Structure 1
Amino acid sequence: MTTTKDDGFSLLKRFIEQTLRIQCSNYKEDYIKRRLLSRMRSTSTTTYEEYLKYLHEHPPELENLRNALTINVTEFFRDADVYDLIRKEVLPALFRGRKTIRIWCAGCSTGEEPYSLAMILSDLMAADKTLSGQIFATDIDEVVLKKAKDGIYPEKSMGKLTDTQIHRHFTKLPDGNYQVKPHLQELIRFRPHDLMSGQPVSRFLDMISCRNVTIYFTEKQKDELARTFHSALVPGGIYVMGKTEYLGREVEGLFSPINSIQKIYTKKD
């Protein structure tokens, strides 16, 4: 039977924070423990102390642990109906009030989400040369952030993209992978950022997309993040959440729903 001790848990958390640069306090404790137990089973260790010793003796396990903790599950145009609304209603409405818009994609993982937004933005800019935009894409994990910045994806990642989108926005490499073309990369600034810092990546933002990130946060952390987003948005700015996420009671008054099913909100002043 697996046994765990809080002493070992504290030591292991400290090691993770120092070695992997992942702030365990940003996640619910139960979530951290579940992820650790999955790796402990895989490595046949039964206590946190044993697993910590295993990490010291088997450095390749560090990457397995990183992947288990960060769960970078993402894809291009994940939840297509959300992106349809962004394409047909949200961004055109923002552009009616101004010629340039600024978007923050928070918790961008390996980059599929900001590149999806960049494809929509690029198409709108191609149709009207007077329009322009900038996307700030951030993540606390600098390993996945580098992958996002490189913009190279396997063929299986192209499944939700049309042939037109692939031809327009990607270059097929000799090894069969696909690389994002420069015109998309130029729209995005990738930066490391800790969502729990209390500081937004920028101010006067027109839209913030933070999808499927806060499901791992405590209620207090979710509320603090909602306040940070509210302060960073311009009046009438847009906040897009993941479909399974929600605004806590203490902060729901900060935003009005544009589409409550797709979890798209506008900032209340």
Structure 2
Amino acid sequence: MTGPDYDHFCRLIRQASGLVVTPEKAYLVSSRLGPVARVEGLPGVADLLAVLRAGAPDALVQRCVDAMATHESYFFRDATPFDQLVSDVLPSLIAARQSQRTLRVWCAACSSGQEPYSVAMVLQELGARIAGWKIEILATDMSEPILMKARAGIYNDFEVKRGLSPERQTRWFKPEAGGWKVSPTLQQMVQFRQHNLLQGTAGLGVFDVIFCRNVLIYFDVENKRQILEQVSRAMANDGSLFLGSAETVLGVTSAVESTPGVRGLYRKTETHLLRSA
């Protein structure tokens, strides 16, 4: 799949979402846009690309963005970040926040909700250590359809068993509608909101912990830099940023740096601390 219509589509998706679609991903475009073309009553993907190039409404562009986005997620994905959250990050924050007794967490590109609900479980399991604290978990994604699934909090057997121990499944989920529904306790802890990372962080506030994992791999270097610098501004000065295991800030930005001895965990650099002061 090549030609002006395909080239225009690549530019359109990059402008709308930051996602980089290259000629080598034509097979992916074909498979993911097929259902969109059928819903639109079009013979095929080539016809859909022609419609997009002719000037499609924003709603159709967003449906194509949603289709192209990768929504891979599961509970306690790559367990290490959650272990680090429990063993390193939260103890320091709890000690530092004893006066205000407030914690704010942002899960960016949260997909269908498994990550923020995993964070909610971790915080609930701290028990008396944060009893009476104000806990806020903001979970954002650019796709409203995937956020609808996250808000519903209903997962099938495969999704629940993928990453959850039997003990956590029993404690935090109940059978419902042919699947498993997350407990009201966890649902009430998480606020889901539509947000595109390219829009910056204005209005989101300041966070003690930010998860932005396995999403930067889909952006070019310039958009990675823009996102990381915006995210760093939304971090508390002693806050922590979790990135995916395949992601790095080297050669991208000096706003954040890796935490010595802890892979995938980042903090503000001294230079950025001074700028934020």
Per the alignment, residue 122 of structure 1 pairs with: 124
Unaligned residue ranges in structure 2 (runs of 5+):
53-60
Asked if 2 retains the 8 angstrom alpha-carbon contact of 1:243 and 1:261, the reply is no
Deviation at 1:38, TM superposition (A): 3.8
SS of residue in 2 equivalent to 1:228? helix
Query: What is the CA distance between 1:239 and its match in structure 2?
Result: 0.6
Counterpart AA for 2:86: R
Which residue identity does 1:6 align to in structure 2? P
* TM-superposed deviation, 1:50: 3.4
Q: Please give the alpha-carbon distance, in whole angstroms, between the structure 2 residues aligned to 1:205 and 1:64.
A: 30
CA shift in 2, pair 1:81/1:41, >3 Å = same
Task: State the partner residue of 1:228.
Answer: 230
Residue equivalent to 1:219: 221
- Give the whole-Å Cα distance in 2 for the aligned partners of 1:88 and 1:221: 32
Going from structure 1 to structure 2, the CA distance change for 1:114 and 1:224 (only over 3 Å counts) comes to same
Aligned partner (choices 163, 174, 197) of residue 171 of structure 1: 174
Superposition deviation, residue 172 in structure 1: 1.3
Shift, 1:226, TM fit = 0.6
Structure 1 stretch displaced more, 253-262 or 180-189: 253-262
**C-alpha distance 50-267 of structure 1, shift in aligned 2 (>3 A):** same
| Aligned equivalents of 1:109, 1:183: Cα separation in 2 | 20
1:7-18 superposed matches below 5 A = 7=5, 9-10=7-8
Q: What is aligned with 1:262?
A: 263
Residues 10 and 64 of structure 1, relative CA distance in 2, 3 Å threshold: closer
Contact 2:17 2:65 in 1 (8 A): no
Could you say if the C-alpha distance between residues 127 and 176 of structure 1 is closer, same or farther in structure 2, counting changes exceeding 3 Å? farther
Aligned partner of residue 106 in structure 2, secondary structure: strand
Q: Can you give the 5+ residue segments of structure 1 that lack an aligned partner in the other structure?
A: 56-61
Q: In the superposition, relative to structure 1, how do residues 165 and 259 fare at CA in structure 2: closer, same or farther (>3 Å)? A: farther
Deviation at 1:199, TM superposition (A): 2.7
Contact 2:17 2:198 in 1 (8 A): no
1:186 partner SS: helix
| TM-aligned CA deviation for residue 37 of structure 1 | 3.6
Residue 3 of structure 2 is matched in structure 1 by: 5
Provide TM-score, normalisation by structure 2.
0.79
Percent of residue pairs identical: 31
1:161, 1:212 → 2: CA distance? Answer: 20
Match of 1:59 in 2: none
**2:29 matches 1:36:** yes
Secondary structure (helix, strand or coil) at the match of 1:189 reads: strand
Give the number of aligned pairs.
Answer: 253
With structure 1 as the length reference, what TM-score do the two structures score? 0.81
**Deviation digits for residues 54-113 of structure 1 (CA, Å, limit 9, x no counterpart):** 99xxxxxx9996665112111000101221111222122211111221011000000000
The whole-number CA distance in structure 2 between the counterparts of 1:236 and 1:111 is 26
Partner Cα separation in structure 2 for residue 33 and residue 50 of structure 1: 15
Write the mapping of 1:1-269 to structure 2, written as runs, cut at 5 A.
2=1, 4-7=2-5, 9-10=7-8, 24-30=16-22, 33-39=26-32, 49-52=46-49, 68-98=67-97, 99-159=101-161, 160-173=163-176, 175-200=177-202, 202-251=204-253, 253-258=254-259, 262-268=263-269, 269=273
Secondary structure of 2:242's counterpart equals strand
Could you tell me how far 1:258 is from its partner in structure 2? 2.2
Q: Corresponding residue for 2:57?
A: none
SS at match of 1:73: coil
Distance across 2 between alignment mates of 1:40 and 1:193: 22
Task: Give the aligned CA root-mean-square deviation in angstroms.
Answer: 3.2
* Paired residues of 2:153 and 2:181 also in contact (CA < 8 A): yes
